[in-house]
Amino acid sequence: MRGKRRAPRPQIPWRSPWTPLVCLVGTFAVGGLVAVSLLAKEVVVVVDGQPRTVRGFAASVRELLDDAGVELGRGDVVRPAVTAGLDDGDTVEVRRARPLTLTLDGRTTEHVVTATNVSDALAELDLDAAAGRLSAPPERAVPLSGMSLTMVTERKVYVIAGRTRVSARTTARTVREVLRQKRVRLGQGHRVRPGLDSFPQEGTVITVLPPRTVAVPADVLRLNWSELAQCESHGDPGAFTPEGPHYGMYQLSLPMWQAVGGSGVPSEWPEDEQTYRAQLLYQRVGGRWEDQWPNCGSRLFTRPVAVLAG
């Protein structure tokens, strides 16, 4: 009796004649992928403080930035340099240039900075944002298109106004603003030096001069006041003689100074104010100079070398 016929055995894949070839191709493919992955670099690109990771095959910083779509402009700073090579894990920093028009204490200059905010921009210029008053807050962004910035630093100035003698630390932009801060009121006819709209530099002495309500005649103006001052005090506005006492260029006593409208001490006032008050005194005594300037008064009538106008 015949037995039942067995079903054919299924073909085993790895016994196929193609199996070695398929395995070889697969091995090369996997090896290629591994090799490619080993050649690729992962680099962090930081543009104006914003980081992002770029993966690629760039051999230099320039190639990397091109691949990342980062365009460079004039004045931009790149670290490391665009010609530098790259290794996996490197960091490339790009700081783009920004124009900055800076008005510092009244003087305007043009700059290019790479900082992204006002405070850092001033630091690039060796300035401290906390050292003065700014037209924009320190944290404000500096746009790529640039910006204008005004900075007024703190300065020490001096104010002389009548009996007021003060020094002040100020960030004021004008003499007028300093006087307002110190609550110095200006009456009609008061004169201010330097001018109210001028910029008070470090060490500026701001003098508020009283009104000149009395005119000085031409014949008095023509007298040789500079020669009298030279004889009395060697022309020193700050001169002081304890005997008396007498003060200033014309060695006036306090009663005489006050009699012609002077305030404070003569030696505290500028030359032209002292001269004006001396001229008023000459008028007040009716030209009798002998009592006021017994030793030097005759010098008034020498030929003037220079006339000090009242």
Quote the DSSP letter at residue 295. Answer: T
Is 12 part of any domain? no
Number of structural domains found in the chain:
4
Average pLDDT for 246-270: 92
- For residue 244, is pLDDT > 50? yes
| Cis peptide, bond prior to residue 237, ω within 30 of zero | no
Is 286 part of any domain? yes
- Let me know whether 292 and 249 are in one domain: yes
Is 27 part of any domain? no
Is 23 part of any domain? no
Select from 50, 68, 62 the least CA-distant residue to 86.
Answer: 62
- For residue 20, is pLDDT > 60? no
Is 16 part of any domain? no
Is 3 part of any domain? no
- For residue 16, is pLDDT > 60? no
Read off the CATH number of the domain in which 132 is found. Answer: 3.10.20
DSSP 150-168: EEEE-EEEEEEETTEEEEE
Read off the CATH number of the domain in which 83 is found. Answer: 3.10.20.30
- Let me know whether 118 and 170 are in one domain: no
pLDDT digits (tens, 9 = 90+) for 224-241: 999 999 999 999 999 999
Q: How far apart are CA 287 and CA 301, in angstroms?
A: 12
Average pLDDT for 141-154: 95
Is 17 part of any domain? no
**Phi and psi of 170, rounded to 5°?**
-145, 155
Domain region containing 169: 155-209
Residue 119: which pLDDT band, with cuts at 50, 70 and 90? very high
- Let me know whether 190 and 256 are in one domain: no
Is 30 part of any domain? no
Higher-scoring residue by pLDDT: 110, 49: 110
Judged by average pLDDT, the poorest of 19-33, 38-52, 75-89 is 19-33
- Let me know whether 237 and 273 are in one domain: yes
Q: pTM of the full predicted structure?
A: 0.57
Given 61, 79, 95, the domain boundary residue is 95
Query: What does the pLDDT read at residue 26?
Result: 53
Q: Where are the alpha helices (DSSP H) in the chain?
A: 19-39, 61-68, 118-124, 175-181, 218-221, 225-233, 254-259, 271-284
What is the overall mean pLDDT for the chain?
87
Query: What does the pLDDT read at residue 170?
Result: 93
- Let me know whether 272 and 227 are in one domain: yes
Q: Which residue has the tokens 């009121």?
A: 185
Select from 299, 301, 257 the least CA-distant residue to 275.
Answer: 257
Mode of pairing for the β-strands spanning 107-113 and 155-161: unpaired
- Let me know whether 72 and 134 are in one domain: no
- Let me know whether 143 and 161 are in one domain: no
Cβ atoms 106, 85 nearer than 8 A: no
Query: What does the pLDDT read at residue 247?
Result: 96
- Let me know whether 125 and 185 are in one domain: no
